[in-house]
Amino acid sequence: MIVRPELEPIVDPNDPDDWRPRSRWALAADPDVGLTVILEEIAPGDRIPLHRHRIDEVLVYDGGRGEVVLGETHHEVGAGSVAFVAAGTPHGTINTGSESLRVRAFFATCLIDIEYLERNAAPGTEGDAPQPPVVYDARTGEVTAA
């Protein structure tokens, strides 16, 4: 299957923990294959908040400059960098450059769980705690409690 996902601003009212209107993302999954790819362009100064999954993840950076947090360590990343994220490891990415930081996240499943440890709070939710963990079905868009 070939897909051409459209990048959209990160402003889902159902996800008040990661609100980044200057950044864009798209989700690509094949219902017949258990793989998912998230394509993301992180705007200058924006960040993917610290979070974790119960599954392994591979992050491939193909443009821009930034920093990835893996557990307690920080690493500079840019075009050509690859980060392997073990299940359960808190991680996030910060754009430290002046142009969009392009990252591709690969999962060997279509069911992606996420537990936020930090927030990019949606307007009006700044004082709220992170939402409980959820599982996204990349094939259907369904969101369920983890």
The reply to whether 19 falls in a domain is yes
Q: Whole domain around residue 129: which residue ranges?
A: 8-145
Residue type, 70: L
Query: Using 50, 70 and 90 to split pLDDT, how confident is the model at 31?
Result: confident
The total domain count for the chain is 1
CA dist 27 and 95 (Å) reads 20
The reply to whether 1 falls in a domain is no
The reply to whether 82 falls in a domain is yes
Tell me how far the alpha carbon of residue 139 is from its chain's centroid. 17
Q: Which of 73, 115, 69, 70 is nearest to 94 (CA)?
A: 69
Record the pTM. 0.95
Query: Using 50, 70 and 90 to split pLDDT, how confident is the model at 30?
Result: confident
Question: For residue 141, what is the domain's CATH number?
Answer: 2.60.120.10
The reply to whether 3 falls in a domain is no
Find the angle CA(113)-CA(89)-CA(120) to the nearest 5 degrees: 65
What is the predicted pLDDT for the residue at 90? 98
| pLDDT tens digits along 109-123 | 999 999 999 999 999
The reply to whether 43 falls in a domain is yes
The reply to whether 113 falls in a domain is yes
Other C-beta atoms within 10 Å of 121: how many? 16
CA dist 141 and 128 (Å) reads 25
